[in-house]
């Protein structure tokens, strides 16, 4: 079975400060890992993914994430937050080798960036 | 089309009525997923299609829920005898053949309200 945990329901950060949104995962094999963002009344938009190779992945809008196999984590980061980054963020995992091709999503973390 | 399209965008129905939700995936995407997002909750997997077949229906919450896909394209999610707990946003996503490392692309969702 595969699962994702986003331990924080909400993250608050001041504009211009660095932000981190946490994600840990569990899979039986090796993971594909994804981050998505959801703005109000919208669907999910893809931000970035880890497939293989370099543990630091760069994505859209200045976001990046670091894959840490030993800690089974894939935290989302941005060096300098913008008010417009305020949204709901979802981490997702898919087991590369398992029989399920279905991405499993975390509960989501609400990011609030204060001016 | 350029993206995943869902219709209607909003649906208000009376308890006990049947509803049909439609998803038009990205052309050529053989994998299609339905998720449910209740207010303040994460994404709950409902069903997955590979082509016109549904190898995994494990997420359908009851026998009132069914889905089909035709022509390896359009999918319809049907909810019979709707209940108030069915109120949620229903999200559809598509991706290239399952097993690949690409991300899923989401539609805007259908907001279903059962009154």
Per the CB < 8 Å rule, is B48 touching A44?
no
Cβ density class B19-56: b for 16+ within 10 Å, e for less: bebebbbbeebbbbbbbbbeeeebbebbbbbbeeebeb
Minimum-distance CB partner of B56 among A41, A102, A105? A102
pLDDT of residue A100: 63
Pair of tokens at residue A58: 């760069």
Q: What is the mean pLDDT of residues A24-31?
A: 90
pLDDT of residue A76: 98
Q: How many CB pairs under 8 A join A and B?
A: 50
Confidence tier at A96 by pLDDT (50, 70, 90): confident
Mutation for A interface: B2, B36, B38, B101, most A CBs within 10 A: B101
Return the percent helix, strand and coil in chain A, to nearest 5.
Answer: 5, 50, 45
pLDDT at A79 over 90: yes
Minimum-distance CB partner of A44 among B98, B99, B106? B106
């Amino acid at each position: 079975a595969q699962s994702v945990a986003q331990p924080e329901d909400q993250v608050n950060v001041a504009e211009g400060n660095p932000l981190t949104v946490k994600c840990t995962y569990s899979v039986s094999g090796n993971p594909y890992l994804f981050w998505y963002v959801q703005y109000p009344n919208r669907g999910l938009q893809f931000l970035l993914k880890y497939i293989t190779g370099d543990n630091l992945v760069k994505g859209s809008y200045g976001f990046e994430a670091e894959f840490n196999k030993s800690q089974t984590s894939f935290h989302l980061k941005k060096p300098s937050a913008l008010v417009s980054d305020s949204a709901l963020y979802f981490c997702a995992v898919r087991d590369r080798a398992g029989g399920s091709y279905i991405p499993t999503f975390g509960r989501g973390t609400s990011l609030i960036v204060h001016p | 089309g350029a993206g995943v399209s869902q219709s209607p965008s909003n649906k208000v129905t009376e308890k006990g009525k049947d509803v049909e939700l439609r998803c038009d995936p990205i052309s050529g995407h053989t994998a299609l997923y339905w998720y449910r997002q209740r207010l303040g909750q994460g994404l709950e997997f409902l069903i997955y299609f590979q082509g016109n077949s549904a190898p995994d229906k494990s997420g359908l919450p009851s026998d009132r829920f069914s889905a089909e896909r035709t022509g390896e394209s359009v999918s319809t999610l049907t909810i019979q005898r709707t209940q108030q707990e069915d109120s949620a946003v229903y999200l559809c996503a598509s991706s290239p053949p399952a097993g690949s490392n690409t991300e899923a692309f989401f539609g805007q969702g259908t907001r279903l309200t059962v009154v």
